[in-house]
Amino acid sequence: MPEGHIAHFKVLEQTPHLVGVPVGVSSPNRRFETGAAALDSATVRSLQAHGKHLFYNFDARRVLHVHLGMNGSFAYQRGGSSGAASRSGRSRSGAWLRVSSPSLTFDLRSPKVCELVDDAARDRITAALGPDPILVDEAPGGLGAILEMALPVGAVIVDQSVIAGIGNVYRAEILYACAIHPDRQASTLSDDDLGNMWACAVRMLRAGVADGGRIRTVDRRRDLKVRDSRTCYVYGQRFCARCGGLIRRWMLAGQFAYACEACQPLAV
């Protein structure tokens, strides 16, 4: 599932092709037909991401808001609106959105959100989100509210109004790196735990952006005990790479949580 690093990587990837030029906008499956017609031939001023939300800021305060959700994806074709994508079978692909610039055409498929808003609505959406570790270096003071919450920390850190951008894979990996059990009550965490979690989120999500949208948390140079080909320490794993113990998997806040209960003890 796309997490916040994907939205930020898409900004880096698409900005050179879209900003400053009028773009062709259409909706092959017609589900975004009115919005596409309103944006067609408009100029993109900038792209921005906050958490898992992606915004294309057009001229005249028009904003295209995209959230990939569980299944959304982009498919790229190099070349503009008269290029291969519009002539090939992709034109019948059912994409919600097709955007074409002189150097890139992309199709957006199965997004959770694809809507036309204005800049005021964009600002309301971002204001309702928590701080984004890709955008903010130091742990924001407001994060201290987590220490008042009578909820499992594994439920708190995927709440996008608390921290924006962490999904299921990063939840598992951040908590493992910080030796915090996902079921531990957030109110039992210390200020140091919170600072470590934020620093870890900053490091991991930014690495995901730099790594082209992949999540590879295992660092073999630092952790010589990892002898298999895994890219994550606990997410999707059966055995802990450090202690050899079984990785437990259970439902938490609607998605599978993963933990090594030896390395991440519940009782502290």
CB nearer to Zn ion: give 135 or 218: 218
Residue nearest Zn ion, Cβ-based? 240
Binding residues for Zn ion restricted to 91-110, rule: CB under 5 A? none
Which residues touch 158 (CB under 8 Å, ≥6 apart)?
166, 167, 168, 171, 253, 255
What ranges make up the beta strands (E) of the chain?
24-26, 44-50, 53-58, 62-67, 73-78, 97-100, 104-109, 113-118, 247-252, 255-260
Q: Does 240 bind Zn ion (CB under 5 A)?
A: yes
Could you give the CA distance from residue 192 to residue 20 in angstroms, rounded to a whole number?
A: 44
Report the number of secondary-structure helices (H) and strands (E) in the chain.
7, 10
Name which of 16 and 265 has its Cβ closer to Zn ion: 265
- Pick the piece of the chain touching Zn ion (CB under 5 A) from 11-19, 45-53, 105-113, 258-266: 258-266
- Binding residue for Zn ion (CB under 5 A) from 37, 120, 262, 268? 262
Cα gap 201→163, rounded to integer Å: 10
Judged by CB under 5 A, which stretch of 8-16, 124-132, 177-185, 242-250 contacts Zn ion? 242-250
Q: Which of 70, 120, 243, 268 binds Zn ion (CB under 5 A)?
A: 243
Of these, 245, 250, 256, 268, which contacts Zn ion (CB under 5 A)? 245
Interface residue list for Zn ion (CB under 5 A) = 240, 242-243, 245, 260, 262-263
